Amino acid sequence: MEVHKFMRMLTNRQLFQQYIAQTSDSPIGLEIEKAEGIYLYSADGKKYIDLISGISVSNTGHRHPCVIKAIREQLDLYLHLMVYGEYIQSPQVRLATRLAELLPSNLSNTYFVNSGSEAVEGALKLAKRFTGRKEIVAFHNAYHGGTHGSLSVMGDETLKIPFYPLLPGITHIKINKTEGLDTITDQTACVIIEPIQGEAGVISSTTEFLAALRKRCTETGALLIFDEIQSGFGRTGKLFAFQKYNIIPDIILLAKGMGGGLPIGAFISSKEIMSSLSHDPILGHISTFGGNPVCCAASLANLEVIIAEKLSESVEAKSNILREMLAGLPGVADYRSAGLLIAVELDSFESVKKVICQAMENGIITDWFLFNSKSIRIAPPLIISDDEIRFACQVIADSIKAVMSYKS
């Protein structure tokens, strides 16, 4: 009883540090009371522009009215009914049908899951099961998630070594280097690639490389998996990044921006490939919450907003404003973008941290990348207006100027 009384005297920050499992020694630790559109409102009364979108999640902004309406309507009907794939649930059916309308005919069969990592797990299993092969090819500096399978295809050793042994039979090759494609053989079940590497600091594949990769996969019978968990749902200027390249994968992975703020992911392939999960053994992938009806209702509304508000069509022009205002600044060593997924490279992680802190002090939230410590990450909600971009860029530019001139 005494302990409970003591706990109630602690601040939320103290309780956060004590009772929420921490995975970093320096969490941002901002206490948010409300989020709306591109804005976050903190408990101490400050208003921030969110230039990160919860890491490429809130593409339609926070609490888009259409998403909220769809969630409310579904709340009045039913929540969870049954483990994935048993009952006919109309939010799942309508979402899968809409995705099939928007995707090429070989990407018409959807398995809904709870997260990006689970989409990766499902796809790797599907490729092994369909091809009967055991080997997997992945890429250096790739990020695919935090579970054992997705960690195994991750292309950075530092985050993996403490968790060995991971999956066997995985080879990593370099993006945009066609020499490595010989590694893909008739023993390869699948090749998994982010067409635009996010955590590596926005490294885009070239069209030539993806065309050569597609050709090699077709020749050898290896399935080509595009991880569009970060690049999907309009972020790079098309609904999906593969549409920029005109190259069609055998399996596409979605999550993050899919749910309009609710947790949902998917792996999508052809009916023929996907059917291999339904026999020998049956239940080739099982998920209790995959395709939760509230998440599916939110996801469909979110997708319709992206299409109706032509959000992907406006991405290029918005991206250009950011480039004009930030790319040429003194102290900016490199600038990479794929639509509204942007990396501003400075000279060191120290500078990056200082700029992020200073921008945050002044109401602008940016972030860093897992595998590219010298770059600041910018990934605003796609609904951000041109004027809001200009305002936010000015704050970032001032922060870069202050930090970099202090250093020189």
* Interface with ligand PMP (CB under 6 A): 55, 115-117, 120, 143-145, 194, 198, 227, 229-230, 255
Tokens 């309308």 belong to residue:
101
> Would you say 115 or 366 has its CB closer to ligand PMP?
115
Distance CA 175, CA 364 (A): 32
Provide φ and ψ at 37, rounded to 5°.
60, -125
> Would you say 125 or 401 has its CB closer to ligand PMP?
125
What is the nearest approach in angstroms of ligand PMP to the Cβ of residue 199? 6
> Would you say 130 or 143 has its CB closer to ligand PMP?
143
> Would you say 296 or 403 has its CB closer to ligand PMP?
296
> Would you say 135 or 228 has its CB closer to ligand PMP?
228
Distance CA 377, CA 198 (A): 9
What is the nearest approach in angstroms of ligand PMP to the Cβ of residue 402? 30
Distance CA 234, CA 381 (A): 10
> Would you say 149 or 331 has its CB closer to ligand PMP?
149
What is the nearest approach in angstroms of ligand PMP to the Cβ of residue 56? 7
What is the nearest approach in angstroms of ligand PMP to the Cβ of residue 46? 27
Distance CA 237, CA 196 (A): 12
What is the nearest approach in angstroms of ligand PMP to the Cβ of residue 144? 5
Residue 236, token pair as written in the block:
């790079």
Do the bridges between strand 170-173 and strand 203-204 make them parallel or antiparallel, or are there none, so unpaired? unpaired
What is the nearest approach in angstroms of ligand PMP to the Cβ of residue 196? 9
> Would you say 99 or 229 has its CB closer to ligand PMP?
229
Q: Of the candidates 145, 315, 322, which has an alpha carbon nearest to the alpha carbon of residue 239?
A: 315
The answer to whether 50 and 58 have CB atoms below 8 angstroms apart is: yes
Give the helix ranges, DSSP H, for 283-362: 293-308, 311-326, 349-361
User: Burial level of 66, CB count in 10 A (0-12/13-18/19+)?
Assistant: middle
Give the helix ranges, DSSP H, for 153-289: 207-220, 242-245, 271-274
What is the nearest approach in angstroms of ligand PMP to the Cβ of residue 74? 22
Distance CA 271, CA 276 (A): 9
Q: State the number of CA atoms in the 13 A half-sphere of 309 facing the CB.
A: 21
What is the nearest approach in angstroms of ligand PMP to the Cβ of residue 319? 19
Give the residue nearest to ligand PMP (CB). 116
> Would you say 194 or 388 has its CB closer to ligand PMP?
194
Distance CA 207, CA 216 (A): 14
> Amino acid letter at 306?
I
